[in-house]
Structure 1
Amino acid sequence: MRMILTAAALSLTASMALAQTTITVQYPYPELFDETQKQLAEAFSKKHPDIKVEFRTPYKEYEDAAQRVLREGITGNVPDVTFQGLNRVRVLADKEIAVSLDDFIANEKDFDAEGYHDGMRQAGAVNGKVYGLPFAISLPIVYYNMDLVKQAGLDENSLPKSWDEIIELAKKINAQGEADGVMAEWSITGNWLWQAMVFANGGTMLTADETKVAFDGEAGKQAIATLARLATEAKSPNMTANDMLAAFSAGKIGVMVTTTSRVNAVTKQVGDKFELKTGVYPDIKDGVTRLPAGGNVAIITAKTEEKQKAAWEFLKFATGPEGGAIMVRTTGYMAPNTKAADLLKDFYTRNPNQAVALSELPYLTGWYAFPGDNGLKITDVIKDHMQSIMDGTRAKEAEAVLAEMAADTQALLPRR
């Protein structure tokens, strides 16, 4: 009898293995998401033993992610699930690489009740169809080395609320001779911080009909002037993102402006070297300011029905309450799924530096994606022009740089 039962168990195990569907998943920023994705896969496999998740080598960042999937779309070698920057859904939908999720959503019961609210779905929508579900949301915030801030005469009750005040604080920190005063991660992927600076002043990237550049208006002039002041008045160092993070964590930069997604990693790197505090993005104005939602979205690119069904189960889990809670605890991002908050009741109380960005949610807007085949190229063009300001070579002619940046962007827009 024991031999018969053992044989039956082996047969059942073998049949389960045969029935298992394997999906390939690829995501960006391994330094931020390796642990997150590992925990997601482990938790998902417990609920879905019939689906095996295999990870491809992570993308370096969002531009790399989009470019690789676009190339793979031609060769037919796309992963089954790809995590892409929120501003890259458009290009993958336009190229018919991303799979529409509308039918999957329609077949779900109580989808809204599970925290997948309309705003969450619309963040991954293009031309009225949903192509991705947001996984991790970030907003720009300010990181302070409070030891240096206090030496400069401020405390947690007098932290800057404007760029003017940040620049003045930076000058005082510079004068101490121990560290650079401030650095803003201007080169972050997808012109994200540039968009934040323009949107915060009430501007837009293009006109409403997307035919003309609009970031060269008054809002853009204010934004480019601020960047120039960071380079000239605040003597902001021109570093790579990794060098900036290392310098800040070592106590060599007093103020850092970047994404909330880095809170978890920065907190670990800082340790007990100094007191770390985060603050809201500068110059927020009610009724004017909008801040672009950074982060990424989960997209199905699988080609077969079997793989798509399995991929959908992974998408739901990763962007659902449990997956969202895992993501928040292992990064500095916010979960777009409203029910994830139920699992994080005590988390933000224990981690006030991660709670700061929640106060910015009322100002949330989309991370803009430029239209047409040159969308990615426009991102690089804008970055190159900003580089000429931040490395000091053209910091004193900021408006001329802005005009050239606008003209070069206009030339790359689709002609109508």
Structure 2
Amino acid sequence: MIRTTLGAVAMAAVTTQIALAQEPVTIEFAYPYASSFDVTFDAIVPKFKEQYPNIEVKFRSAYEQYEDGTNTILRESISGNLPDVTMQGLNRQQILVEKGIARSLTPFINKEANFETDGYHAAMLKLSTFDGEVYGLPFAVSLPVGYYNMDALAQAGVTETPKTWDEMIGVCKKLIASGSNNPVYWNWAITGNWFLQSLMWTQGKPTVENDRLTLDSPEALIALKTIKSIVDGCEMKNLTPDQAVASFSAGDLPMFFSSTSSVGRVERAKSDFNFSTAAFPGLVGTPKGLPAGGNAAMLTSTSEDPEVLAAAWTWLTFITSGEGAAEVAKTTGYMPPNQAANDIILADFYGQNPNKRTAVDQLPLLSDWQAYPGANGLAITQVIYDSLEMIATGEADDMEELQEEMVEQVNDLLPAN
């Protein structure tokens, strides 16, 4: 992707335009997951205002999650009410590019003398680049991890975190025997079918190949059967993700598998127990890959005012650059995809915060969080979500039958060609 180091980037042309403005320039900005990112922007805004006092950033109501963010932008594009900068899930950028809503960042990048093209992970570059043009700068990157109440595990006679899902189910049985009535929550409901894609990438299998979904593959059936074994073997209750975070933080849920993004939230809210994160289990060992979660900042301004566009670009690059990106790691559990943030500003941070380092150690596994092809990508997401919910609620018992039904519904939504 594109890397910029805060303080090293000159931004001469951009800052000159803003400095010449007689009045403050106001831009509008929208982002998802207030529970995760409110504290991040509370830390970023004062630093931004100190450097750019003539730019006013007006925050819109936060998107509930990534699907809501994309649907909101699609509606606002019709009503002519787009924000200047929006944060979108990494797997939701393509539709905004195809519909001409997102503006290419390449013309802005080409005007900056100190931008480099080697600072972001290759998966980030691929997910935000379309037809050779950059449309998004990654803001926060996540990977799935395990959250553990080590005191509860020790009470059940467990001394090591599980490395495979079979081992995890064995830990569940020990927790149940020691009195737990809900030993684990496996976050099947997380945005974008991310956990299903995690089980696919664990096997080295992408969920989308050649613009077709691979849900009819043996790997997809293994993924469905694995989810079923977790739900049944652990007697898993069907919580919402927010309920799971709250229950884990309260000490009532011994194990929780979700995005690393919630680490900061848990650390701020948890009761008095020994909390540890550990690598995401595999089927027979270390996963072959894991999908890159998170979001990117995109320029969706409809303004042609050079001062507004310069201000929007300044905000966009600030929040994704060194010091701005470092606040992501400090306040959440996301990883900043900016190399300056990771190598310079956060040089000592991860050594002092091992629970946030777990995802960083898994970076070699980083793979695409795949978008579903065609105009019905959000509808396909919902079909898969509904199928996974049937497993979580116990409505579906036969995974071969569920797979067939899911494939049939998804195929009806795919582009004909």
Length-normalised TM-score, structure 1 = 0.91
Q: CA deviation at 1:113?
A: 7.8
**Equivalent residues of 1:199, 1:219 under 8 A apart:** no
* 1:252-287 deviation digits (Å, cap 9, x = unpaired): 211110000000101122142x11111101117799
Q: Secondary structure at the match of 2:415?
A: coil
Q: Which structure would you say has the larger RCO, counting Cα contacts within 8 Å and 6 or more residues apart?
A: 2
**C-alpha RMSD of the superposition:** 1.9
Tell me the residue number matched to 2:408: 407
Query: Take 2:24 and 2:122, find their aligned partners in 1: how far apart are those partners?
Result: 33
Q: Contact between 1:24 and 1:79, CA under 8 Å: does it hold in 2?
A: yes
Go from structure 1 to structure 2 and tell me whether the alpha carbon gap of 1:253 and 1:288 turns closer, same or farther (over 3 Å shift).
closer
Corresponding residue of 2:346: 344
Opposite residue 96 of structure 1, the aligned amino acid is G
**1:168 matched to which residue of 2?**
170
Aligned position for 1:74? 78
Contact 2:84–2:312 under 8 Å retained in 1: yes
Do the aligned residues in 2 keep the contact of 1:114 with 1:321 (CA within 8 Å)?
no
Q: More deviation in 57-66 or 402-411?
A: 402-411
Question: In 2, Cα distance between the equivalents of 1:203 and 1:115?
Answer: 27
Structure 1 residues 167-201: Cα deviation after superposition (integer angstroms, max 9, x where no partner): 11011101212341111010001101111111111
Match 1:134 to one of 124, 131, 138: 138
Aligned position for 1:11: none
Within 1, Cα distance between the matches of 2:317 and 2:21? 23
Answer yes or no: is the 8 Å Cα contact 1:204–1:215 preserved in 2.
Answer: no
In the alignment, what sits opposite 1:100?
104
Distance 1:380 1:367 in 2: 16
CA contact (8 A) 2:164 2:285 kept: no
Counterpart for residue 294 of structure 2: 295
In 2, the alpha carbon distance for the partners of 1:286 and 1:313 equals 44
Structure 2 letter corresponding to 1:308? L
Kindly state the Cα deviation for residue 127 of structure 1 after the two structures are TM-superposed.
Answer: 3.0
In the alignment, which of 83, 87, 97 is matched to residue 87 of structure 2?
A: 83
User: In 2, distance between residues paired with 1:188 and 1:139?
Assistant: 12
Q: Is the 8 A contact 1:137 1:294 kept in 2?
A: yes
Cα offset, 1:126, TM superposition: 2.2
The match for 1:6 is none
CA distance in 2, matches of 1:232, 1:291: 24
Q: Is residue 165–residue 230 contact of structure 2 (8 Å, CA) maintained in 1?
A: no
1:193 counterpart residue number: 195
Q: Which residue of 1 aligns with 2:394?
A: 392
The 3-state SS of whatever aligns with 2:243 is: helix
- Please give the TM-score of this superposition, normalised by the length of structure 2: 0.91
The yes-or-no answer on 1:261 pairing with 2:265 is no
Q: Per-residue displacement from partner, 1:317-354 (whole Å, max 9, x unpaired)?
A: 10000111111111110000000021112211111010
1:216 deviates by 2.5
Larger CA deviation: 320-329 vs 263-272: 263-272
Contact 1:114 1:320 in 2 (8 A): no
Indicate the SS of the match to 2:208: coil
Tell me the residue number matched to 1:310.
311
Matched position secondary structure for 2:334: coil
SS in structure 2 opposite 1:180?
A: coil
Q: Return the index of the structure with the highest Cα Rg.
A: 1
Does the 8 Å contact 2:165/2:281 carry over to 1?
Answer: yes
Partner of 2:38: 34
**How many residues align structurally?**
396
Contact 1:145 1:251 in 2 (8 A): yes
Distance 1:281 1:373 in 2: 32
In the alignment, which residue of structure 2 is the partner of 1:177?
Answer: 179
Which segment is superposed worse, 19-28 or 107-116?
107-116
Deviations 1:151-172 (A, max 9, x none): 22222xx221000000110111
What 5-or-longer segments of structure 1 have no aligned partner? 1-14
Unaligned runs of 5+ in 2: 1-18
Partner residue, 2:62: 58
Question: 1:276 matched to which residue of 2?
Answer: 275
Q: Distance in 1 between matches of 2:372 and 2:253?
A: 33
Partner of residue 20 from structure 1, selected from 24, 28, 53: 24
